[in-house]
Every structure is written in structure tokens, then in C-alpha cells.
Amino acid sequence: MMGDSNAGQKFTASENIRHFLISNAVPIIFIGLSAAAIPLSGFSAGYLVQEMLTRLARNSFLVLSLLIPIMAGMGLNFGMVLGAMAGQIGLILVTDWSVVGIPGMILAAIISMPIAALLGLICGKVLNMAKGREMVTSYILGFFINGVYQFVVLYLFGMRGILSVPFTGTEIRIPITNPQLVLSRGYGIRNAINLTGIRRVLDNAFPFSMHLNIGGGTSTINIPAGTFILIAAFCVFIVWFRRTKLGQDMRAIGQDMAIADSSGIAVERTRIIAIVISTMLAAFGQIIFLQNIGTMNTYNSHEQTGMFSIAALLIGGATVSKASIANVFIGVTLFHLMFVVSPMAGKELIGQAQLGEYFRVFVSYGIIAVSLVLHAWKRMQERERARRGLRGEG
Amino acid sequence: MDGKVKKFIENFGWPRIIIAAFLMCLFASTPLVGVRLDTSISDTLVRVGMNGVLVLAMVPMVQSGCGLNFGLPLGIISGLLGATTSIQIATSADIIAKSGAASGGMKYALASALQTGARGPLLFASALAIAVPCAAVLGFVYAQILNRVKGEEMMIATYVGFSSVAVMCMAWLLLPFDSAVMVWGYGGSGLRTTISTEGFWRHILSDFGSITIGRFYVPTGMFLFFAFMVFLVWAFFRTKTGTAITAVGSNPEFARASGINVDKMRTISVMFSTILGAVGILVYEQSFGFIQLYMGPLYMAFPAVAAILLGGASVNKATMTNVVVGTFLFQGILTMTPSVINNLLKSDMSEVIRIMVSNGMILYALTRKTQVKR
């Protein structure tokens, strides 16, 4: 194992290069894949740059929300979909009240924050009951809360209620007045919601565009500056947060829960805080994501959020136990580059765009599988070695 | 007496009692809401038979300590390969049989055998014969992965399953099938998303000795097959290998100390689970009447996992009773909620109830204190 721990030793240049290649294998493979697929797809450079900037703005916040639980040693927070659902509830209500523009976004955030905090609290408590298997538990919890979300949005939101408090006749419902949002039966939110009121308001808050001259043609690139300012602020927050007492506690817990506990850190409480922060940030991330897309699939938008964010982070070179801000941006860029070019590349190569479509699904799932395997394998080997050491063989 | 009740509740678990009571209420309320009780019970029975073997596929891996088999799609795609190949064989044979005896001796004899009454059983047997070795190979590879990630099998199994489904999505587009009933009408290549098993082996097990009284239908053959599989697994866990697998599941360190090859036992159990998954999906499809390809198998592990947990299994212990009780309770809820709740509330809430019951059950199992130690 080469690492910073034996920095006293001198490494040759070739060893250093090898170490760099091994520790960055995943991003390097994806750079190679993209390099092969971009010419095949036939997209212009200007188009791709524009597309990447849009997607960076759209997704970075969501992916950044994953960093804090990783710091606290809780692995990839598959429970971030909880936050996404909270964000969507905020957006539904704001759309119904027709609050538009930046105030609409802020109001949606204000509504979703307490919901996200509550869901995060539940998630944190559940995960504390399932230490050592946080990932699978948070994953299933995402499905479970999705059921609750569907119940609320499909049966409690509406112009009329179907459930009532027994014997009193009071309807249990969350009033929605805009008939365009409600299914024709009178309750339940429609599957597709047009977010015209807040579409791209943050992206275009500070209109900014530049001319880019690549590959012979000049193209105008619109930069969603407003969103990037917010993302930058978030990055500063994370850097600052790492240095606070709470951040240090989380890192200690991430290193070793038992030692952190015996040195007086409130392990369970800190873990809950990590998840609550992550969930709240994910709620805000989903609001940013949807203001860029402009339409919301009430029952599907959040489902893919967790998987795509996690796959992007891992492609950026992060692992289950270690992730940096750089991983986020590299990952989002590479993942979405592949996302954009693979259907076209598949079409050019085999004549079927559907194949490229399935290929990117495979990559999203496959990359998560491979990263999880590598991480678990490494951990198992370390455990074995520790045990051999105890037996006096190491 | 009081202590006894308390003990019973503790053993059985609150969620299970609540769900069993809920199911009883659903059955009891059928006359009140105008749903026929006989069709309800018969529907439940059909679905128990359909899903039984898929739930059974959880047992070997749970017993060997590999956790809940979220990688079930791996077995399912092997089953799908068997299913599609058997239909391809049938259509090729039909063409040969039509072209007359001139086309050749042995091939023609086989092809005309498929035109007789033995067509269904032969084709289903060939589907099984192709699916099982595929599942064994995939299961072996899958086991090698799981042996390297002890303690984190479940999350990895989920994503291994998902990735394999995505790989097969590409394969279904590219594999050289040319049967007209399976490939897309336009383009002439790539399999359809759903393929009917009508005319091949639809209801081949279900209708074997089936009983129909009015609207009441019992798929006897399917139950016999399910019972046979349950017996097979039960008997397997009473052999020397089976006992060794159970030992590995209960305490791997202890098993190793007593000379059991832990990795080998885990490999056998994973292969066994995967094979059962392949057989399970074939049983499912012959009753359902359709083969679902592409993203169809993606989430199929979750209902099976939920069912066995509902039956009282934990993350590292499962019995045949758990399988049967769990499948009945889970499929009962799935069958009964749409009809009864719809009539009651005039609204279809069954999907939401299904999501909450199945995932709630998995969550309950994952968070139980006694199960956390490994």
C-alpha cells in the first residue's frame, strides 16, 4: 500500500505514475470512453460545452449533498431521495399558490426544509439502528418513504378529500386549488407538472454568455451564473464545515466509531446531524435541478436522483469512504458527457439508439456495483490482515 | 397464560401479526363490499403458486449468511434465457415440421415430436434444461464476487442484479433470435418487451390436474411443483452439505474452526439460490402467460425478499414455513387490497400499500437489534 502515511520514503517517478493511475482508474477509463464516443456521436464542441455547463449547474448541488455522510463514515447516502421528495412537495405547493420567480424558489425551499429535516431525522434514527449496513437500509428507506410520498401526493393533496377523521367528518387533505395540478377525479397531483413560474429563474438570475471559438465555428454559450454562484457558496460551506468542531467529529466517527465514542463524541447524534444536513441539502438540490428542467414528473423525478448522483460521484473517483469536491465536478462532467453522447454513439455504431440508452443504464448501475465491490473487498482484506496480526502471523 | 401470549407475540413479531390481522379483515369484509370470496381465495392461491419458488430462492443464501438475495435478477435472467430459447426451438421446429419429411431424418423426427401432445412439457423441460446450467454458471461467478465482500453482500447484490439486467437489455437487442412471435415486427431484430407463452407452455404446470368449481380454480400442478421444490430444499438442508451451509450461516468462525470450507459452502448456496430463481421465473411465466424482458426483472427481488421476511425469516435464518406463510400473507395482501380497498374507498390505493408493506417489512428486518451482530 502506497500512501501519504509512508511519505518519508522516496518514490520513483514510475511508481508515482502508477499510483496515480491506480487511484484514478475510474475517471481515466471514463475519459477514454468519452474520447472514443465523442467523435462517433458527431456532436459539435460548442453543443457539448453548453450541455456540460447546463448539466453541471443542474446536478452539482445534488451530488455535493452526498459528501457529508461519506465524511461521517456512513457511506453513500441512498436516502438522499428523501430530500428530493421534500423538495418536490415544496415545488407543488409553490406552483399551486402561483408564487413565481426567485421568491417562488425561496418559498419552495422554506417549505421543504422542515419536511427534509424531519425525514432526515427519521433516516438518521433508522440508520443508527442498522450500523454497518447503512447503505442498504437507506436504500430501502428511500423506497418506503416513496410509498408514503405517493400516499400523501396521490390521496391527500387535492380539491376534495377521500379520507376523513372517523365520526367527525373532517376531511384529511392538503388543499390544492389549481385544477391544472389535480387529477380529474378531484384529488391527487397529476403526473407532469409544468414549473413555468420558476423555470430557469436561478440559472438566468445573472444573464451571462460568452462566445467560444472551437473547431472552426463560433458558438454562444450561456452560463447559468446564478446557479454556479450558489454551488460555489456551497463548496465554501463544505470546506468551512470540515474545519468546525462538528465536521471534525464527523471525520473522527468516519475513521473509527468506537474510538470516537470513547473520546466523548456523541456518535449517534452526530450521525443523525450528518444525515439531516445531507437530506436538507438534497431537497434544495432537487429544487435547483427541477428549476433547470422546468417540468416535474411528480412520481418519477426523485426516483432516479439518488442513483444518478451516486453514480456521478463514483465516476469522479470518489469511493464509499472518501470523496472530495473535485470528485463531484469531475464526476458530473464525465457521467453526463457519457449520458449525452452514448445514445448517439450507439446509433452510429450499431444503428440502434436504444442500445446506447441501455449502455448508460448499465454504466450507472455497473459503476456503483464495481465501486461497492472494490471498497468492500479492500475492507475485508484489511480485516483479514488485522486478524492475522492478532494471531502473530502478520 | 399472559406470558405465553407475550412469548408468542415476540416470536411472531408485531408487523407480522398486524399484517395477518389485516389480511383476515380483508377476507372477512369481502361479502360486505361485494367482492366474491371464492375468486379472491382462488386468485390468492394462483399468485402464491406463481411466486412461491422465487421466494424459496431466498432460503439458501439466507441460510449461508449471504443475506437476502437482492441479486435474484441474476437467476431470473437465466430463466428468461431458457424461456426465450425454448420458444425459438419451438418456432424453428414448426418450420421444419411444415416443410415435410424431406428436410431430414433426426431433425424432422424431433420437430414432429413437438407437434404432438408432448409439445408443452417438452418445451418447458427444454426451457428448464437451458435455464438451470446458465443459472449455475452465473451463480458461480456471483458467488465469487460475494465471497470477496463478506458483510456487505446485500447492497452489492442489489447492484450486481441491476447491472446484469442492464447487460441483458443490450443482449435482448443483439442476440440472434429470429422467431416471428418474439422479435419486433418492424426491423426484424431485437426481442419484444413481452412475449406470450400461449401455444408453447402457458399453464403447463397450472392446468395439470387443476380443479375448477364454478369460479373457484386451484392450480394443482403448480402447487405440486412448488411442494416438490420446497421438499427438495428442505431435504437438501438435511444433507451433510446442507448442514454445513447452515453452520456457516450461523457462525462462520466456528464453522471454519471445525474444518468447513466457508467459501465453498457460500458458493454452493449462492448457486442454489440462483438456480431456484431461474426455475422460479419459469413457473411464474407459465402461469402468467407472458415473458417479460428488458427492465421487467429489475425490481423482482423486492417482493420475494419482502415475502420471506413477512413469513418470519430474519436476515440470516429462514425456514420452509417462513416461505409458505410469507408468500401467502404477502400475495394475499397484494390480491386483496386492490379489490377490497377499491370498493371501500372508490380509489386504487393498492400500489401504495404494496410499496409500504414490502419495504416496511425489509426495513424492519434490517433494523432489528438482534440481527445487527454478525
Question: What's the CATH number where B245 sits?
Answer: 1.10.3470
Of B70, B163, B351, which has the smallest distance from its Cβ to A365's Cβ?
Answer: B163
Greatest distance between any 2 Cα atoms in chain B: 80
- Asked if pLDDT for residue B245 goes beyond 70, the answer is yes
pLDDT band at B369 (very low <50, low <70, confident <90, very high): low
Query: Using an 8 Å Cβ cutoff, are B72 and B249 in contact?
Result: no
Domains for chain A: give ranges and CATH numbers. 26-196+212-378 (1.10.3470)
CB atoms within 10 A of CB B79: 32
Q: Which of residues 104-143 of A touch B (CB under 8 A)?
A: 126, 129-133, 135-137, 139-141, 143
Is A354 at the interface with chain B, CB within 8 A? Answer: yes
Share of chain B above pLDDT 70, in %: 93
CB atoms within 10 A of CB B29: 16
Residue B263 has a pLDDT of: 92
Instruction: Check CB contact under 8 Å for A354 and B173.
Output: yes
Residue B205 has a pLDDT of: 82
- Asked if pLDDT for residue A43 goes beyond 50, the answer is yes
Identify the residue among A365, A368, A387 best suited for mutation to test binding to B, counting B beta carbons within 10 A and taking the highest.
A365
d(CA A307, nearest CA chain B) in Å: 10
Is there a domain that residue B5 lies in?
no
Is A173 at the interface with chain B, CB within 8 A? Answer: no
Identify the residue among B156, B184, B346 best suited for mutation to test binding to A, counting A beta carbons within 10 A and taking the highest.
B156
Query: Using an 8 Å Cβ cutoff, are A102 and A94 in contact?
Result: no
Residue B349 has a pLDDT of: 78
Instruction: Check CB contact under 8 Å for A150 and B362.
Output: no
Please report residues of B whose CB lies closer than 8 A to that of A355: 170, 173-174
Instruction: Check CB contact under 8 Å for A131 and B372.
Output: yes
Identify the residue among B152, B154, B345, B354 best suited for mutation to test binding to A, counting A beta carbons within 10 A and taking the highest.
B152
Is there a domain that residue B28 lies in?
no
> A89: part of which helix (H) or strand (E)?
helix A80-96
Is there a domain that residue B12 lies in?
no
d(CA B248, nearest CA chain A) in Å: 17
Please report residues of B whose CB lies closer than 8 A to that of A366: 159, 163, 166
Give the chain B residue whose CA is nearest to the CA of A356: B170
Which residues constitute the domain of residue B239? 35-368
Least confident of A71-85, A370-384, B275-289: A370-384
Domain count, chain B: 1
Please report residues of B whose CB lies closer than 8 A to that of A147: 352, 355-356, 359-360
d(CA B134, nearest CA chain A) in Å: 21
Residue pLDDT, tens place only, A172-230: 788 888 888 888 888 889 988 888 888 888 888 887 887 777 666 677 888 888 899 99
Is B20 at the interface with chain A, CB within 8 A? Answer: no
Instruction: Check CB contact under 8 Å for A352 and B145.
Output: no
Is there a domain that residue B110 lies in?
yes
Give the chain A residue whose CA is nearest to the CA of B374: A132
Choose between B348 and A305: higher pLDDT.
Answer: A305
Mean pLDDT of the B301-317 span: 86
Query: Using an 8 Å Cβ cutoff, are A42 and A348 in contact?
Result: yes
pLDDT band at B363 (very low <50, low <70, confident <90, very high): confident
**Strand positions, DSSP E, chain B:** 194-196, 211-213, 216-218, 290-292
Residue B198 has a pLDDT of: 83
Please give the Cα distance from B282 to A294 (Å, whole number): 43
Of A136, A369, A373, which has the smallest distance from its Cβ to B154's Cβ?
Answer: A136
Residue A6 has a pLDDT of: 45
pLDDT band at A393 (very low <50, low <70, confident <90, very high): low
Please give the Cα distance from B298 to B269 (Å, whole number): 22
Instruction: Check CB contact under 8 Å for A162 and B347.
Output: yes
- Asked if pLDDT for residue A2 goes beyond 60, the answer is no
Instruction: Check CB contact under 8 Å for B151 and A376.
Output: yes
Query: By C-alpha distance, which of B291, B239, B217, B282 is closest to B42?
Result: B217
- Asked if pLDDT for residue A349 goes beyond 80, the answer is no
Which pTM does this prediction carry? 0.86
- Asked if pLDDT for residue A256 goes beyond 90, the answer is no
Instruction: Check CB contact under 8 Å for B352 and A369.
Output: no
Is there a domain that residue B134 lies in?
yes
Is there a domain that residue B183 lies in?
yes
Instruction: Check CB contact under 8 Å for A365 and B166.
Output: yes
Is A352 at the interface with chain B, CB within 8 A? Answer: yes
Residue A145 has a pLDDT of: 94
Residue tagged 378529500 (cell numbers): A161
Is B159 at the interface with chain A, CB within 8 A? Answer: yes
Choose between A291 and A37: higher pLDDT.
Answer: A291
Please give the Cα distance from B318 to B8 (Å, whole number): 18
Of B155, B190, B346, which has the smallest distance from its Cβ to A139's Cβ?
Answer: B155
d(CA A146, nearest CA chain B) in Å: 8
For residue A53, the one-letter residue type is L
Instruction: Check CB contact under 8 Å for B347 and A135.
Output: no
How long, in residues, is chain A? 394
For residue B358, the one-letter residue type is S
Is B173 at the interface with chain A, CB within 8 A? Answer: yes
Residue B238 has a pLDDT of: 93
- Asked if pLDDT for residue B124 goes beyond 80, the answer is yes
Cα-Cα end-to-end distance for chain B: 34
Please report residues of B whose CB lies closer than 8 A to that of A146: 355, 359
**Strand positions, DSSP E, A184-238:** 192-194, 209-214, 217-222
Residue A217 has a pLDDT of: 67
Least confident of A144-153, B47-56, B235-244, B348-357: B348-357
Burial code (b: 16+ CB inside 10 Å, e: under 16) for B178-189 equals ebebbbeeeeee
Please give the Cα distance from B157 to B138 (Å, whole number): 13
Give the chain A residue whose CA is nearest to the CA of B298: A365
Query: By C-alpha distance, which of B148, B164, B67, B61 is closest to A375?
Result: B148
Is A366 at the interface with chain B, CB within 8 A? Answer: yes
Residue B100 has a pLDDT of: 67
Is B348 at the interface with chain A, CB within 8 A? Answer: no
Q: Quick one: cell of A236? A: 465554501
Is B306 at the interface with chain A, CB within 8 A? Answer: no
Share of chain A above pLDDT 90, in %: 37
DSSP SS3 for B195: strand
Is there a domain that residue B335 lies in?
yes
Residue A394 has a pLDDT of: 46
Mean pLDDT of the B268-297 span: 92
Give the chain B residue whose CA is nearest to the CA of A149: B352
Instruction: Check CB contact under 8 Å for A147 and B355.
Output: yes
Q: What secondary structure does DSSP assign to B311-363, as a single string?
A: TT-BTTB--HHHHHHHHHHHHHHHHHHHHHHHHHHSS--HHHHHHHHHHHHHH
Residue pLDDT, tens place only, B193-242: 888 888 888 888 888 878 888 778 888 889 999 999 999 999 999 999 99
d(CA A127, nearest CA chain B) in Å: 8
Mean pLDDT of the A326-330 span: 93
**Strands A174-175 vs A157-158: parallel, antiparallel or unpaired:** parallel
pLDDT band at A106 (very low <50, low <70, confident <90, very high): very high
Is there a domain that residue B9 lies in?
no
